[in-house]
Structure 1
Amino acid sequence: MRGSAASAAADGFRTDINGLRAWAVVAVVLYHFGVPGFGGGFVGVDVFFVISGFLMAGIVVGGLDRGGFSLPGFYLARARRILPALLVLVAVVLVAGWFLLMTSDYQMLGRHARESVLFSSNLRYLDESGYFDAASHDKWLLHTWSLSVEWQFYLLYPLVLLLLARCWPQRRGILAAHLLALLASFAVCVFLTFSEPSQAFYLLQSRAWELLLGGCVYLLGTRQGLSSRWRGLLEGGGILLIAASIALIDASLAWPGFLALLPTLGAAAVLLACRSGSPWTASVVAQWLGTRSYSIYLWHWPLVVGLVYFYRQDDPVWIGAGLLASLLLGHLSYVAVEVPARRWLARRNSLRNAAWLIGCLVVVAVSAQLVRRSGFPERLPSEVAKVEGERQNRNPRLKECLRFDAACTYGGDQVHALVIGDSHADALVSAVADALPDARQGVYFKGESGCLFVYGARWAGKGERVDCKQLLEEVASRLDGLYPGMPLFLINRTTSYIRGELPGADGKPLPPMVYFSRKVEQPDAEYFAEFRQHYLDTMCRLAEHHPLYLLRPVPEMHVEVPKAMGRALLRGRVEEIRISREEYRQRHAEVWAVQDEVAERCGAKILDPLPYLCDAQYCYGSKDGMPLYVDDDHLSEYGNRLLLPMFAQVFAAAPAVSTAPAMPEAGGR
């Protein structure tokens, strides 16, 4: 049997395309639900892009060949296909958010909902980067980024082809234009993958090559006359590439970049093979899944976020229930929304089609905008509103003072202490100022967010932290004349810089944020030895000019405390956020040890917050029903009040603090 991909696409329904959709949606869904063996399941989106490009080329180029292509008709057909199910999903999620989300979270959902129905959500999520991080599980509509990329492609693609058809109507010219645009977009994709990975992931210009690859397959398919044997081998190779991508690629690898060639070329091979009766794509299950793939894709991600919201993301029973619910809701959306809407709109003329679709879109978009602007705090119980308020109970001068080029004084004009550090220093500086015995006395503050105050530390992320470097250089050059003799408090989230942030939802440890002579994925003995030497050198240098006080690390919680407490209250529960003293001891052991060494060698004093934030067994994220943190690691202005007695000791006439208290063991203070 001989045939072509293009002719099959033009003649009627293709079971191989429908089955390929099934492969793509299964991969994405199982990846998002965390099913083992599907670490690269996100490549299903790339497969969808190739399929969309193939189909759009068939519609536009085929229409141009027949002389009957209508640009308004093209846009209207795409809207009929995409909008009804999307608008219903967004409306349902907004209603669910009314009952489940606190004000700021609900406002964020409103913003995301608006961008989703306006097909600009990829740009919004780029601003909030990223797709693979823990914060992604707070974004109920994150998956709509791919719809936005596709719709942006749909807007431009037929316009460009119409222009090409006027200037260069031969099929060869259209194919050449596809190939040139594909190569340019792929080059952008590869460059951005290594320089700006979030842009590579979300932007049309770095994703267009995948859709254009589908277009090239359509155009090449008209010239191919492959035998049945060769088409079988071509399809089998394509399926193998897709399966290998799903099994071997994971989120730790640079993506999309060169690696995206594997699933996209695999999808292209399956499309080019055009095997209508293939066991890989033509089974009853594959056809059922493929037909409902769009609706399954729409509904599965809010269910994934729901599992995280209710802390059930690691429960196999709940994961299984989420998978079944994805299939059920996808089926209901298909039979109750997609098909009826398509049939109902098909019976109306184009003007009424457009009026109905635009009207529904405006209603949902305006509703989303109202949610974004207000968040409707009055819907929340008073105790939830109080907890919610603590998320904003930060240092009111944060934006003014937490900058390397700023210098602020807290309290009175007579500087009697200095506070230097990062955002943890910013979170505590007001407590230091309030601990001063005289209202005329004040605290000089210099800080920069995400800046480890250790000379020789280099930022492990992209680029150089010029702001942090300038802060350290300025303090070093001015230290001897900067309020000499006054106590200097060095406050840093030191452990996170050398051990990495707390593990995300997947439990994988994150790499250190800084390095010295070499970057490492996980700190080892050599790395810690380098850190120790640089830390000792820096602290002893500071101690030459000022009485130096080092703050032990503030306990880090595994969740954003106000958010977790508020969500629990909305579910009628009281959530106690805490970590064990043993867990704290293990995470911060290296920092405690080097601080003790600084105290012994350089005369620094140690300030220990644990007696004020912990009991014999646990360190707590709340007190008397109120959060002590604004997030998972920064104390709020309410929480930092607990440390006033600790700072007050420094300014009292009595001995300030213990020289170097030992690291607390589990069960001890």
Structure 2
Amino acid sequence: MRATVSDGASMLGDYDGSRRNNFTALRILFAWSVLFGHSFPITGYGNLNPLSEFFEKSTWLGEIAVSGFFAISGYLVAASFVRRGLVDYCISRILRIYPALIVCVLLSVVLLGSTLTTLEQSAYFAHPRTWNYLWNTTALFPMSFDLPGVFAGLPRSGVNGSLWTLPVEVSCYILLMVAGAMGLLRWRALANLAGAALLLFSINYFTDVPLVGRIERWAEPCVYFLLGVGVYLNRDAIPLSLPLAIAAGCLAYAALGEPWFPYVFPPAFIYLIFFIAYRSAYLDIDRWLGDPSYGIYIYAWPVQQTLVQFFPGEGPYFNTAIATVVVGTLALLSWHLLEKPALGLKRRWLHAVSEK
């Protein structure tokens, strides 16, 4: 029987391990929001997003979506480590990130780049930037965004600008792995103290944080990842209450345009994410579609850029509409033909490791 608080709300910890959640739906929404948000700068409309005035320059749609991704990721991967241990955690992270990323990068270089480059084929494949782009498959270094002669005359020249978040995520995975291996995740009080100290230290000295401090732009997604981890570790103390969700929504809205936005909006937004994930009507998307969210995220930008290349006079709404169909198809193929089968290898890998 689930524990409840005074207003009848259940605690977040009561849903621990439950597969009846809307995380997949939220990730798909966030991935599509990045697609829609990018359609404006990609087509040359800059920041003329219709939601720009609503957010009062405090943030923008794509930034909110990426932050949501990282909050969910922090929560779920912390759960993965605590429940299954170090080896399972590492194998799961590798199988989730790398197969689709490697294929996306290779398709970008071999198929997209070689087809659309303005250089001769021999010059394209001999160019150092072509080979440097292949380092993106590691997700361990800041990403390269340009291929020689590809999209050079467009408003945005990058082949896949969305990939910048993947080294951030992998770096967060590594830091969490180290914290877990040191035993910090076993005791909530110690983990909370360490997390709070890291958060306070990062406010003024983020560039000194190992791995993630390499680029200042990485600070915001890292904060959301850390908060997601904190939510998981404190799940038994967090009520999922409709009045609190309404209050969180009001706080998030009130923070827009205010100097205290960075301190109020993140926890309010994160609370809304987990309330929607567990307390809203359940959408069994995994059963009907699978999880195409990662594919949507990594294929959206190159598809949108290609549309601008062939339909230069069309605006962001045309770009969004056509890209949604094309990217959705690619993402579903990626999930069913690559990502899901790759995840199915985990048991074999675990068995192979256990025999050594």
TM-score normalised by the shorter chain: which range applies? 0.7 to 0.9
Q: 1:293 to 1:300 in 2, by over 3 A?
A: same
- In the alignment, the residues of structure 2 paired with residue 259 and residue 303 of structure 1 have an alpha-carbon distance, to the nearest angstrom, of 33
Instruction: Quote the offset at 1:259 in angstroms.
Output: 4.6
Q: 1:111 to 1:176 in 2, by over 3 A?
A: farther
- In the alignment, the residues of structure 1 paired with residue 73 and residue 104 of structure 2 have an alpha-carbon distance, to the nearest angstrom, of 21
- In the alignment, the residues of structure 1 paired with residue 28 and residue 234 of structure 2 have an alpha-carbon distance, to the nearest angstrom, of 24
Correspondence list, 1:127-142, <5 A? 137-142=156-161
Q: Which has the higher strand share?
A: 1
Correspondence list, 1:561-640, <5 A? none
Amino acid at match of 1:5: L
1:8 has 2:22 as partner: no
- In the alignment, the residues of structure 1 paired with residue 271 and residue 207 of structure 2 have an alpha-carbon distance, to the nearest angstrom, of 22
Q: 1:236 to 1:172 in 2, by over 3 A?
A: same
Aligned twin of 1:183: 200
1:173 has 2:180 as partner: no
Aligned twin of 1:157: 176
Q: 1:208 to 1:99 in 2, by over 3 A?
A: same
Aligned twin of 1:233: 243
- In the alignment, the residues of structure 2 paired with residue 237 and residue 334 of structure 1 have an alpha-carbon distance, to the nearest angstrom, of 37
Match of 2:139 among 119, 133, 139: 119
Q: Is the 8 A contact 2:248 2:268 kept in 1?
A: yes
Q: 1:82 to 1:288 in 2, by over 3 A?
A: farther
Instruction: Quote the offset at 1:351 in angstroms.
Output: 7.4
Instruction: Quote the offset at 1:41 in angstroms.
Output: 1.5
Aligned twin of 2:280: 278
Q: Is the 8 A contact 1:186 1:206 kept in 2?
A: no
1:349 has 2:349 as partner: yes
- In the alignment, the residues of structure 1 paired with residue 308 and residue 267 of structure 2 have an alpha-carbon distance, to the nearest angstrom, of 34
Identity %: 22
Instruction: Quote the offset at 1:172 in angstroms.
Output: 0.6
Amino acid at match of 2:243: L
- In the alignment, the residues of structure 2 paired with residue 182 and residue 303 of structure 1 have an alpha-carbon distance, to the nearest angstrom, of 37
Aligned twin of 1:37: 50
Instruction: Quote the offset at 1:5 in angstroms.
Output: 2.5
Aligned twin of 1:200: 216
Q: Is the 8 A contact 1:307 1:313 kept in 2?
A: no
Instruction: Quote the offset at 1:30 in angstroms.
Output: 0.9
Correspondence list, 1:101-112, <5 A? 101-103=117-119, 107=127, 110-111=130-131
Q: Is the 8 A contact 2:154 2:309 kept in 1?
A: no
Q: Is the 8 A contact 2:92 2:346 kept in 1?
A: no
Show CA shifts across 1:220-279 (max 9, x none): 22223x3xxx6123334556677899xx78xxx9xxx96555653244203553763415
Unaligned runs of 5+ in 1: 128-133, 192-197, 354-669
Provide the secondary structure at the position in 2 that maps to 1:291.
coil
Q: 1:21 to 1:142 in 2, by over 3 A?
A: same
Q: Is the 8 A contact 1:182 1:209 kept in 2?
A: yes
Correspondence list, 1:212-251, <5 A? 212-224=226-238, 226=239, 231-238=241-248
- In the alignment, the residues of structure 2 paired with residue 288 and residue 37 of structure 1 have an alpha-carbon distance, to the nearest angstrom, of 32
Amino acid at match of 2:200: L
1:268 has 2:270 as partner: yes
Aligned twin of 2:107: 92
Q: Is the 8 A contact 2:102 2:137 kept in 1?
A: yes
Show CA shifts across 1:600-624 (max 9, x none): xxxxxxxxxxxxxxxxxxxxxxxxx
Aligned twin of 1:645: none
Provide the secondary structure at the position in 2 that maps to 1:332.
helix
- Give me the TM-score of the superposition, normalised by structure 2: 0.73
Aligned twin of 2:56: none
Q: Is the 8 A contact 1:85 1:338 kept in 2?
A: yes
Provide the secondary structure at the position in 1 that maps to 2:314.
coil
Correspondence list, 1:112-511, <5 A? 113-122=133-142, 124=144, 137-165=156-184, 170-188=187-205, 199-201=215-217, 203=218, 207-224=221-238, 226=239, 231-238=241-248, 259-261=261-263, 264-273=266-275, 276-279=278-281, 282-283=282-283, 291-310=291-310, 312=312, 314-315=314-315, 316-343=317-344, 345-346=345-346, 348-350=348-350
Instruction: Quote the offset at 1:185 in angstroms.
Output: 2.1
Match of 1:56 among 77, 82, 103: 77
- In the alignment, the residues of structure 2 paired with residue 24 and residue 244 of structure 1 have an alpha-carbon distance, to the nearest angstrom, of 22
Aligned twin of 2:43: none
Q: Is the 8 A contact 2:133 2:144 kept in 1?
A: no
Q: Is the 8 A contact 1:20 1:267 kept in 2?
A: no
- Give the root-mean-square deviation of aligned CA atoms: 3.8
Instruction: Quote the offset at 1:302 in angstroms.
Output: 0.8
Instruction: Quote the offset at 1:145 in angstroms.
Output: 1.3
Unaligned runs of 5+ in 2: 5-9, 41-47, 53-59, 147-152, 209-213
- In the alignment, the residues of structure 2 paired with residue 170 and residue 161 of structure 1 have an alpha-carbon distance, to the nearest angstrom, of 10
- Give me the TM-score of the superposition, normalised by structure 1: 0.41
Q: Is the 8 A contact 1:53 1:211 kept in 2?
A: yes
Instruction: Quote the offset at 1:73 in angstroms.
Output: 2.5
Provide the secondary structure at the position in 2 that maps to 1:161.
helix
Match of 1:47 among 59, 62, 68: 68
- In the alignment, the residues of structure 1 paired with residue 199 and residue 154 of structure 2 have an alpha-carbon distance, to the nearest angstrom, of 32
- In the alignment, the residues of structure 2 paired with residue 275 and residue 47 of structure 1 have an alpha-carbon distance, to the nearest angstrom, of 12
Instruction: Quote the offset at 1:32 in angstroms.
Output: 0.8
- In the alignment, the residues of structure 2 paired with residue 78 and residue 59 of structure 1 have an alpha-carbon distance, to the nearest angstrom, of 10
Larger Rg over CA atoms: 1
Q: 1:111 to 1:138 in 2, by over 3 A?
A: farther
Provide the secondary structure at the position in 1 that maps to 2:233.
helix
Q: Is the 8 A contact 2:290 2:335 kept in 1?
A: no
What is the number of equivalent residue pairs in this alignment? 314
